[in-house]
Chains A and B, each alone.
Chain A
Amino acid sequence: MDCTLFRRSAGLLAGAGALALAAGAADAASLVKDCGKDGKYVIGFSQANNAEPYRQHVNDELTAAAAKVPQFSLQIADGAGNVNTQTSQMDNFITQKVDLILISPFEAAPLTPVVARAVKAGIPVIELDRRSLGEPGKDYTAFIGGDNFKIAQEAGKYVAGTLLPDGGEVAVLEGLPSSTPAVERLNGFKDGVKANAKIEVVAEQAADWLPDKAQTAFAAMLQAHPNIKAVYASNDMMAAGARLAAKGAGKKDGDIKILGTDGLPGPAGGIRAVAEGEWSATFTYPTGGPEAIDMAKAILIDCAEKVPTVVTVATTAITPDNAKAMMGK
């Protein structure tokens, strides 16, 4: 199982074909039989839950990337946060004989069997952002996604090296404690700040990804530790809540370094907040959408015989230096 790390900017829409696909041995057969430049291909995307704004963002990026390939038409099915719904939608894709399936499984174990059914039916399955159980390259074609631990680790390193080189007290706002990304981001950040021994993580509280809970929790943290110099929020909405708490405690923007995660575009997202000086930085959680379409192109149009089985898409740090430029994109 090889692991290829692709460095990409968050300007993900550039279809530069940077996806360097490992060309396999000459005698290997292509992954799907009916491939080639002239075909028309239906790609089915089984989304976990449209109701989360981040997932909407994934849909948007995926739609935009697919629109650039004239041979592709993309169908998005909303699993609505329900494994049963998502399973039956996957079965529909199999019945329709779509040419390729993308899936973000809402939960790993319950969706593993239907992924296997699709592969058995000869449909390549690319898992996006979330994995089912089983081995990529064998039980499904490939996994494309960000690495929560690494993203948060980048944020930790940024605090340790750039924001607080002289050290100080730092707080963490965790996501929903039962979710894997929440744990990975918490651990990643704590690992990242280890680079600077003078930094001390004095408080960590779960705020369930929600701005209102983050505001309440960070207000209490500021009471208990008035010298907190930076707060790492495991998503952008909690960073927004943390800023309100800082304001409530009489702090001005910049007094406390606020770091978000996700780097969502739009007026309510983190990129704008950094550009306007409300926060110090946010770290994009790449959707993997363009990468997924690139891989679909490789499989369906270029008749690739082999694709990388795990593609980790790197984060981009949004800082005051690049935020304004990023906003235009």
Chain B
Amino acid sequence: MNDAAPMRAAPAAPPATARRFDAFAIAVRFQSVIGLILVTLGGIVFSPRRHGHILFLAPDNMANIVRAVSETGIIAVGMTFVIITAGIDLSVGALLSLCSVLTATIMTSGGYGLAPTILFVLACGTAFGGAQGLISNRFRLEPFIVTLAGLQVARGLALVISGNQYINISYGQGPGLAPPVFAILGDRLFDNTVPVATLVFVVVAAIATFTLNFTRFGRYVFAVGGNERAARLSGVPVSLVKVSVYAITGLVSGIAGVVHAGQFNFGSANDGTGYELTAIASVVIGGTSLFGGSGSMIGTVAGAVMLGALANILQLNNVNAALQLLATGAIIVLAAVLQSLVRRREGLGR
């Protein structure tokens, strides 16, 4: 901020077209919902059938899809906050792994009780994420670098704590055994239909949607991502917001780690690899801009489910892995291109 700041005049505004193109902007805003509908239609068309029934639409297949995306979905929901502030968090997959190892280790090493164990793990995840936010903010480091380092640290801690073994969780009463109720995370409720992991995802997503859209904090998040300097000058506690969003990704990684340990009955330093990329892909497909300032939580959820549905339909047809990667890559590019078209239409650069 000084007199030498080069002057930038606003480019000519096209008010006449602003309204005409709104339908396009709205379509892009909810691109992942539309994408989900398209993938679902594709699923119906290409689904194998048995006795005339469409397998893709079978209730337990739907349950399989939403279960499969629950862990990355939980993370993507938290990642949405970070990306709206124009940040990124690469540590989430490793942090999930660390939290699953912590859960398994504590569960099997002493009678600390279920609730205290889970709360402790979630606190660890939150503290880890918050620390990354603090470091990035205090020393003005790119979140990309800080969380890349965080990824290594979390993975390293997980390896040390687990002694590089899968930490098995055995259930029962007594020392070294976890409370049997914890295994519910791998179960399905309501007549064996609804996966519990999915319920956790739904609850996390609902809370996040509310926070982003109906609280002051949510508005702060948009403001920081939309224009950090403007937000600071308007009295928004920018540093606090920036630290908080990383604490949120830490928290959701912790939740996903607990769910992971509960679903698979072990903690492992090797799991969660690449989850950060799936989560980021879900967020981007969901219409949140990596430039920050705009985004939608519903879009993220739809983006995550869409990726799961796509993988499912390909797997139902026994399509090989290479094609699955190609399809996912193509969708990410498509989502990014649509975003870029909107930006260019708004005259806000490429």
Tell me, yes or no, whether A and B come into direct contact in the complex with CB atoms closer than 8 A: yes
Q: Which of A's residues lie within 8 Å of B, judged by CB?
A: 50-53, 56, 174, 177, 202-206, 210-212, 215-217, 219-221, 223-224, 226, 237, 240-241, 244-245, 247-250, 266-269, 272
Q: Are A224 and B264 in contact (CB under 8 A)?
A: no
Q: Are B58 and A223 in contact (CB under 8 A)?
A: yes
Total interface residues in chain B, CB < 8 Å: 44
Q: Are A250 and B64 in contact (CB under 8 A)?
A: no
Q: Are B271 and A210 in contact (CB under 8 A)?
A: yes
Q: Are B316 and A211 in contact (CB under 8 A)?
A: no
State which of B18-26, B77-85, B159-167 sits at the interface with chain A: B159-167
A44 CA / B74 CA spacing, docked (Å): 45
Q: Are A52 and B270 in contact (CB under 8 A)?
A: yes
A166 CA / B135 CA spacing, docked (Å): 63
A224 CA / B46 CA spacing, docked (Å): 12
A240 CA / B265 CA spacing, docked (Å): 9
B68 on the A face (CB < 8 A) = yes
Chain A proximity of B315: nearest CB distance (Å) = 4
5 closest Cβ contacts across the A-B interface? A268-B166, A267-B168, A220-B315, A206-B321, A268-B168
Query: Quick one: which of B64, B186, B318 contacts A219, CB cutoff 8 A?
Result: B64
Known: A237-B166, A248-B188. A212 touches B260 (CB 8 A): yes
Residues of B within 8 A of A268 (CB): 165-168, 266, 268
Chain B proximity of A212: nearest CB distance (Å) = 7
Kindly count the residue-residue contacts between A and B in the assembled complex, taking CB atoms under 8 Å apart.
105
Known: A205-B315, A210-B271, A211-B271. A50 touches B164 (CB 8 A): yes
Q: Are B270 and A51 in contact (CB under 8 A)?
A: yes
B317 on the A face (CB < 8 A) = yes
Q: List 22 A-B contacts (CB under 8 A).
A: A51-B159, A51-B269, A52-B270, A53-B166, A53-B268, A174-B321, A205-B315, A210-B271, A212-B71, A212-B263, A215-B263, A215-B264, A219-B61, A224-B315, A224-B316, A237-B268, A245-B64, A247-B186, A248-B64, A248-B195, A249-B60, A250-B192
Q: Which of B's residues lie within 8 Å of A, judged by CB?
A: 48, 50, 55, 58, 60-61, 63-64, 67-68, 71, 155, 159, 163-168, 170, 186, 188, 192, 195, 260, 263-266, 268-271, 273, 308, 311-312, 315-318, 320-322
Residues of B within 8 A of A266 (CB): 165-166, 168
Closest partner residue, chain B, to A56 (CB atom): B164
A52 CA / B67 CA spacing, docked (Å): 26
Residues of A within 8 A of B318 (CB): 202-205, 221, 224
Query: Quick one: which of B170, B264, B311, B315 contacts A267, CB cutoff 8 A?
Result: B170
Chain A proximity of B123: nearest CB distance (Å) = 25
A244 CA / B269 CA spacing, docked (Å): 20
Known: A203-B318, A206-B321, A248-B195. A220 touches B60 (CB 8 A): no
Residues of B within 8 A of A267 (CB): 168, 170
Closest partner residue, chain B, to A209 (CB atom): B270
Q: Are B68 and A244 in contact (CB under 8 A)?
A: no
A221 CA / B91 CA spacing, docked (Å): 32
Residues of A within 8 A of B50 (CB): 226
A202 CA / B48 CA spacing, docked (Å): 13
A53 CA / B55 CA spacing, docked (Å): 37
Residues of A within 8 A of B159 (CB): 51
Residues of B within 8 A of A202 (CB): 318
Residues of A within 8 A of B271 (CB): 210-212
A212 CA / B263 CA spacing, docked (Å): 9
Q: Are B48 and A224 in contact (CB under 8 A)?
A: yes
A206 CA / B167 CA spacing, docked (Å): 24
A19 CA / B271 CA spacing, docked (Å): 38
Query: Quick one: which of B63, B64, B165 contacts A53, CB cutoff 8 A?
Result: B165
Closest partner residue, chain A, to B314 (CB atom): A220
A226 CA / B61 CA spacing, docked (Å): 12
Closest partner residue, chain B, to A177 (CB atom): B321
